Amino acid sequence: MRVTCRWLVGFLGLAVAGLLPGHAAAGPLDPPGYQKAFSCSACHGFAGNSKTDTTPILAGMAPWYFKKAIADYASGKRPAAEMEPFAKMVDVLSVDDVASYFAAQPRQPSAITLDPAAVQRGRAASTQCVVCHGPNGKGDASKNIPDITGQPPGYLQAQMLKFKADTRSPGDPVLKAVKTLMATIPDPSLADLAAYYSSLR
């Protein structure tokens, strides 16, 4: 009986590891880069599809922007005590692999319920944002301007407030224009803009 049990345990272990002939096809946890990106799921959700209002969605994110964010977090240029150690870990594991993994994941826009009135007010206020982010909020990779559509409204609002207070990448000359613009917008309007851009698909 003991021999049989040991054999069965060993067989099951090999099956789980995928070392036996005819094992199951690759599943959702097997894409290249998943194992390196796994720790991100605790906050950013499975496959980078965040379900919370304050954590950004990584699924479908352009690799260039993901890598820039990781570099800024890891260097302390973009201060965030909770992100800096993870960014450094991603750097060590291979930021290219992790960026490619998230870029390849189907994106599920934020499911956070939005106030239709706030969305409409945000649409009206967004005319000043179109110059950089475009008419549909998709940004412009050639100018290092990211796609901000479908992100959780709480996250978008928090980032705009950080721009306004110059606490996101403080002193960065590249962000001077957007920070100057944010300083002219009342906080309630920032919330409306967040709702509007979160509503876009």
Q: Where are the domains of the chain?
A: 32-108, 110-201
Question: What pLDDT, in 10s, does the model give residues 7-21?
Answer: 443 433 434 444 444
DSSP H helices in 18-115: 34-37, 41-44, 63-75, 84-93, 95-103
Sign of the four-CA dihedral 8, 9, 12, 17 = negative
For the chain, count helices (H), then strands (E): 11, 0
Residue 64, both tokens: 């260039």
110-201 and 32-108 share a CATH fold = yes
Q: Could you tell me the fold of the domain covering 32-108?
A: Cytochrome Bc1 Complex; Chain D, domain 2 (1.10.760)
Question: What pLDDT, in 10s, does the model give residues 121-161?
Answer: 999 999 999 999 999 999 999 999 999 999 999 999 999 99
- The pLDDT of residue 99 is 96
Q: Could you tell me the fold of the domain covering 110-201?
A: Cytochrome Bc1 Complex; Chain D, domain 2 (1.10.760)
Question: Which residues, including other chains, have CB under 8 Å from residue 10's CB and lie 6 or more apart?
Answer: none
Residue 157, both tokens: 């609002």
Question: What pLDDT, in 10s, does the model give residues 30-68?
Answer: 667 888 998 898 999 999 999 999 999 999 999 999 999
